[in-house]
Chains A and B, each alone.
Chain A
């Protein structure tokens, strides 16, 4: 197994056993139509760890994330979350999971606060102060609160999606190209959020075409799907 981009300094994870393995994927095979896209993909993630998929385009980054999220069915292979097979209880897994795909799932006709309110109402009830704090943390509190999201720039919309992500309290983040459309400041917000998430004992699997610098956090880079993680 080759080491790649591995940072040996592991910060202490409050309340989570260091190195406790949370996600284990074994021998995953996925076909899309006639294409054998994922051939025996295997890796594991520990609490407080991030794995960045830097595979070339079209080799199955998005499909892997969508398969783990449950949208695609893998013909073969096993995925275990906290030791429990995914196929036996999807709802519990989904409660621990946050997925951010290419689409932001934001409603253009609603304001930022309203988007957060309704998105969070699906999972847990937050007091408005907390929603406001999340907006502030992503730098969106300076905008006009009555402005519909439709008029936000792509970068601002993605930041709003990140704000929503931080509110869900999920332990596993599956992020597909999270840095797309983000400017320098936005990228910093993403990095801060990821670091905080990992420090809190969460795990993250990111598909990205450029490595996101996460100094001070346990972050591995996986460049080639054909080699081991």
Chain B
């Protein structure tokens, strides 16, 4: 396998240019997909038999839940890369994932609560999936808090990386919690071994929305990581050159 691309990303100038070039595109794609998905979900998709229009919150809730787990996994992988191979950029990427991940988790919990009211009759239930999703939020917050509490930047990077890796155990727990325990929350309908149980007319806006959220996350993550790189490399000659040059490159 060609590892050249891997090491290339570890170089701050390359990452800076890469992030600067692609983030606006990702954001644009995200907005486009969002519009299509929202239109599909809110206007086009047929009304649900049991829940009528209340189910449409699925188009905001489910992508947020998926993204919260995906962001955490991404953060843990970046943290592991930074820890094992000592690539500083990886730590910047992990740090960039945390606020976005916390927001997605919060949105997922909040929209879940809003959805729970008409369907279950309650805002909250002490249910395995909800609780484990709450823990994911705690882990994100703990990661951010630990980073902020340690003054030495390299130590902060590495300590929070250990925390991120330790917390990865939560991700499969959240996903499988509805299968392992009797949960109030419904079983997975999309990511299943025998294919989705939802009819395609309802499912396609969901997939589009998941795509929208993913591209949004990538855009945000690249932008934040880029800012972090600038902060860390502010003394670097390459940065001064880029900023001094006229608007030739982003």
Q: How many residues of A contact B (CB 8 A)?
A: 4
Do A33 and B235 have beta carbons less than 8 Å apart? no
Residues of B within 8 A of A33 (CB): 152-154
Verify A34–B154 contact, CB threshold 8 A. no
A32 to B232, CA, bound (A): 12
Query: What are the residues of chain A within 8 A of B154 when measuring CB–CB?
Result: 32-33
Residues in B with CB closer than 8 Å to A73 are: 86
Q: How far, in Å, is A80 (CB) from chain B's closest CB?
A: 21
Residue in B closest to A36 when the chains form the complex, CB atoms: B235
The residue on A at minimum CB distance from B233 is A34
The residues in B between 132 and 159 inclusive whose CB is less than 8 angstroms from any CB of A are 152-154
The 0/1 profile, CB within 8 Å of A marked 1, for residues 210-245 of chain B is 000000000000000000000010010000000000
In the complex, the answer to whether A34 meets B235 with C-beta atoms within 8 Å is yes
Docked Cα-Cα span, A34 to B12, in Å, equals 14
Contact with B along A15-50 (1 / 0, CB 8 A): 000000000000000001110000000000000000
Closest to B236 in A: A34
Residues of B152-176 whose CB lies within 8 A of A: 152-154
How distant is B169 from chain A, measured CB to nearest CB, in Å? 27
* B38 CB, nearest partner CB in chain A, Å: 44
Bitwise interface map of A from 72 to 101 toward B, beta carbon under 8 Å scored 1, else 0: 010000000000000000000000000000
CA distance A226 to B153 in the complex (A): 26
**Given the complex of chains A and B, what is the CA–CA distance between A36 and B47 in angstroms?**
63
Q: State which residues 84-133 of A face B: CB under 8 Å.
A: none
Within the complex, the shortest CB–CB distance from B83 to chain A, in Å, comes to 11
In whole angstroms, how far apart are the Cα atoms of A107 and B57 in the complex? 61
How long is the Cα–Cα vector from A172 to B86 in the complex, in angstroms?
A: 28
Chain A residues 194-215 with CB under 8 Å of chain B are: none
Q: What residues of A have a CB within 8 angstroms of the CB of B232 in the complex?
A: 34
B residues less than 8 Å from A32 (CB atoms): 152, 154
Which residue in chain B gives the minimum CB-CB distance to A75?
B86
**B234 nearest CB neighbor, chain A only:** A34
Q: Residue of B at shortest CB range from A72?
A: B154
The answer for the CA separation of A73 and B154 in the assembled complex, in Å, is 11
* B154, chain A: closest CB distance, angstroms: 7
Using Cβ atoms and an 8 Å threshold, which residues of chain A touch B235? 34
CB proximity of A98 to chain B, nearest CB, Å: 25
CA of A32 to CA of B153, assembled, Å: 9
Q: A34 CA to B86 CA in the complex, in Å?
A: 15
Cα–Cα, bound, A33→B152 (Å): 7
Cα distance, A32 to B44, chains bound together (Å): 57
Q: How far is the CA of A197 from the CA of B154 in the complex (A)?
A: 37
Complex CA–CA separation, A33 to B86 (angstroms): 14
Within 8 A of A (CB), among B161-204: none
- Closest-CB distance, B11 to chain A (whole angstroms): 14
Chain A residues, CB < 8 A from B86: 73
Cα A34 to Cα B235 with chains together (Å)? 8
Q: How far is the CA of A34 from the CA of B154 in the complex (A)?
A: 10
CB-CB nearest in chain B for A33: B153
Q: Complex: how many Å from CA A128 to CA B154?
A: 43
Bound CA–CA A33/B158 (angstroms): 13
Q: How many angstroms between the C-alpha atoms of A33 and B153 in the bound complex?
A: 6
A70, chain B: closest CB distance, angstroms = 14
Q: How far is the CB of B230 from chain A (nearest CB, A)?
A: 13
- Chain A min CB distance to B235 (Å): 6
CA of A194 to CA of B154, assembled, Å: 36
Q: Which residues of B contact A34 (CB under 8 A)?
A: 232, 235
- Which residues of chain A are within 8 angstroms of B153 by Cβ–Cβ distance? 33
Q: Closest Cβ of chain A: how far from B85's Cβ, in Å?
A: 12
Residue from B152, B154, B232 with most neighbouring chain A CB atoms (10 Å): B154
A-B contact pairs, 8 of them (CB 8 A): A32-B152, A32-B154, A33-B152, A33-B153, A33-B154, A34-B232, A34-B235, A73-B86
A: residues with CB less than 8 A from B are 32-34, 73
The 8 closest A-B CB pairs, nearest first, are A33-B153, A34-B235, A33-B152, A33-B154, A73-B86, A34-B232, A32-B154, A32-B152
In the complex, besides A32-B154, A33-B152, 6 extra interface pairs with C-beta distance below 8 angstroms are A32-B152, A33-B153, A33-B154, A34-B232, A34-B235, A73-B86
